[in-house]
């Protein structure tokens, strides 16, 4: 297994782990989860809970695989570059859970 494949696989697993976090807190989320806010703090968009719980981790995992494939074609790709999407995935998960449960 090449180094880039290993980083991509581990990053995708890390993104998929956000599913476990969402499942753990899914009972705390309302049926309609606020997803977009205006500058004044008004909610502009709601998503169904199941779309958030299953869709967000799936989207981040797909993005991580696409980024990993793209990075594997670059000669100057650094290891930390493979971990940007998983870090954003966990940050977004925390923000979504915080905003959805308050």
Mean pLDDT of the residues in the chain? 94
Contact assessment for residue 82 and residue 8, using Cβ atoms and an 8 Å cutoff: yes
The 3-state DSSP class for residue 82 equals helix
CA–CA separation, 78 vs 17, rounded Å? 23
The torsion angles phi and psi of 43, rounded to 5 degrees, stand at -75, 125
| pTM as predicted | 0.88
Q: How many domains does the chain have?
A: 1
Q: Which residues contact 2 (CB under 8 A, 6 or more apart)?
A: 72
Residues 48-78 have pLDDT tens digits of 999 999 999 999 999 999 999 999 999 888 9
Which domain range does residue 44 map to? 3-101
Q: Which residues pair with 32 in a beta bridge?
A: 48
pLDDT > 90? residue 26: yes
């Amino acid at each position: 297994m090449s180094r880039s494949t290993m980083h991509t696989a581990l990053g995708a697993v890390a993104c998929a782990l956000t599913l476990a976090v969402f499942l753990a807190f899914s009972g705390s989320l309302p049926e309609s989860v606020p997803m977009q806010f205006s500058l004044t703090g008004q909610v502009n968009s709601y998503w169904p809970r199941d779309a958030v719980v299953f869709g967000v981790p799936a989207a981040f995992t797909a993005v991580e695989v696409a980024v990993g494939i793209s990075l594997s074609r670059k000669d100057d790709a650094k290891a930390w570059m493979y971990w940007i999407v998983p870090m954003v995935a966990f940050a977004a998960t925390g923000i979504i859970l915080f905003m959805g449960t308050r």
